[in-house]
Structure 1
Amino acid sequence: MYPQRIEPKPGQESVWDYPRPPRLEDTNKHIQVVFNGVVIVDTHAAKRVLETSHPPSYYIPPADIKMEHLVLTPQSSFCEWKGRAGYYTIRVSEKSAQNAAWFYASPTPAFASIKDHVAFYAHMMDACYVDGEKVEPQPGNFYGGWVTSDIVGPFKGIPGSWGW
């Protein structure tokens, strides 16, 4: 059984209005990611993936990432929409977060424009920001969506949502 959709207020989006299969769109919102006190992402050129019941996941072009802090790992996973994902461990000085970011080296044709772009798990970073607002991680620590005040749910990842 699906949960009751929260009605968005003016200026908000409901994740229940996002499509399935997901939609990919450009965004010029200011995206920043901070890890161990270092801003490792700073961009206005991200892409976001919008999928029913999920807050957006933001994919960052490698040119706007301090890639020297990303270490490729053998971890992989498969998304029915985007294809096989690879993972990075984030390392800044003595601090690291294993498999804290993911990317698609060979995405499906519908998601070709996110090739090698990197998404970050907010719960593993010091902070992630969208237009200066610190995001909340998508509940459950499994999914990688970013919750901001302009997004309403309920969100996949809360207790009891696995079957949605």
Structure 2
Amino acid sequence: MGLSWQQGPLSPGAVGHFLTPAPPPERLPYAERLRRRMRVRFHGTWIVDSEDVVLLHEPGRYPVAYFPRQDVGDTVLVASGKVTRHQDFGDTAWYTVHVGDRTTERAAWEFTALPGHAAVLRDRVAFAWRAMDAFYEEDERILGHAADPYHRIDIRDTSRRLEVRLGATVIARSGHPVVLYESGFAPRWYVPRTDIDVARLRPVEGQTFCPYKGLCDYYDIGDAHRAAWSYPNAYREADRISGLVSFEADRVEVFLDGARLRPEPGQSVVSHGIDRGLDVDEIRAR
């Protein structure tokens, strides 16, 4: 989660509310200087390298990095003549990105008629994430979208009792699950495989990707489709859940200290696609 997407405070699906006498506007775009060096690679070339990046948070969208025009290579941007209108920031000019013998249309954009209150975005260009080869902070590739400084994961051990059932069948029973708290999402309870009847987990095809946790595998349980999931090799920031299994409370019965868990706001998650040119081995190697 960040400020403006999934269930963040500035998103359409916010789980909380502002304690103000009058409701704030439905749309509250937020921009701030990122204070990180960012680079963009296209056709094997660094086309922008900047320490003056502005990160824009728009309601319902992943954060987007905006780079000063002067930090973009001189011949990279070719005006396409296409202009659209943004509901908050006015006219938007689109660019073709060109390097060597490679050209990608509508791969970058710039707001050209900004209102005064959005002047921080003036003379700045954003690049379509999946149209580029890769985005980097310093020398490390950033996956999925621009890194969100407001996203946080906390993982805690607990002695609470967790039980998972499918009808009369006990799938898992644990007195030491691990709970993962992720900004704005419902808590996720992970169970060691030693506390699971793993013969009941049937692996299914298809993985999803989280920029903060890595590649996720899924399992059917009986006729409950994708009722459980696991990060077999979670990123180091979330390594404590590697190999553990979590269960969907709307597809099987999950009990915590005897009380059945129900889906709640923040339970559903919008999954990420894989960046162009990014293969599974590179994700695992991070």
In the superposition, the TM-score normalised over structure 1's length comes to: 0.73
1:29-54 alpha-carbon deviations (Å, 9 max, x no partner): 12111100000011110111112322
| 1:133-144 alignment, distance < 5 Å | 133-136=141-144
Matched AA of 2:10: Y
Equivalent in the alignment of 2:9: 17
Q: Give the CA deviation at 1:156.
A: 9.7
Task: Determine the C-alpha separation between the residues in 1 that align with 2:148 and 2:117.
Answer: 29
Task: Determine the C-alpha separation between the residues in 1 that align with 2:78 and 2:31.
Answer: 26
Preserved CA contact (<8 Å) 2:134 2:141: no
Identify if the C-alpha distance between structure 1 residues 124 and 104 changes in structure 2 by more than 3 Å, giving closer, same or farther: same
Q: Give the CA deviation at 1:155.
A: 5.0
Paired-residue identity, %: 23
Task: Determine the C-alpha separation between the residues in 2 that align with 1:33 and 1:149.
Answer: 17
The gaps in structure 1 that reach 5 residues or longer are: 1-7, 137-145, 159-164
Which secondary structure does the structure 2 equivalent of 1:17 belong to? coil
1:42-75 alpha-carbon deviations (Å, 9 max, x no partner): 1110111112322111110012111311101111
Q: Which has the higher Rg, Structure 1 or Structure 2?
A: 2
Task: Determine the C-alpha separation between the residues in 2 that align with 1:120 and 1:71.
Answer: 13
The gaps in structure 2 that reach 5 residues or longer are: 12-26, 152-182, 186-268, 274-286
Equivalent in the alignment of 2:68: 61
Matched AA of 1:134: I
Matched, 1:83 2:90: yes
Preserved CA contact (<8 Å) 1:46 1:59: yes
Equivalent in the alignment of 1:36: 43
Residues matched between the structures, number: 138
Greater RCO between the two (CA within 8 Å, min separation 6)?
1
In the superposition, the TM-score normalised over structure 2's length comes to: 0.44
- Name segments (4+ residues, structure 1) moved above 6 Å: none
Equivalent in the alignment of 2:115: 108
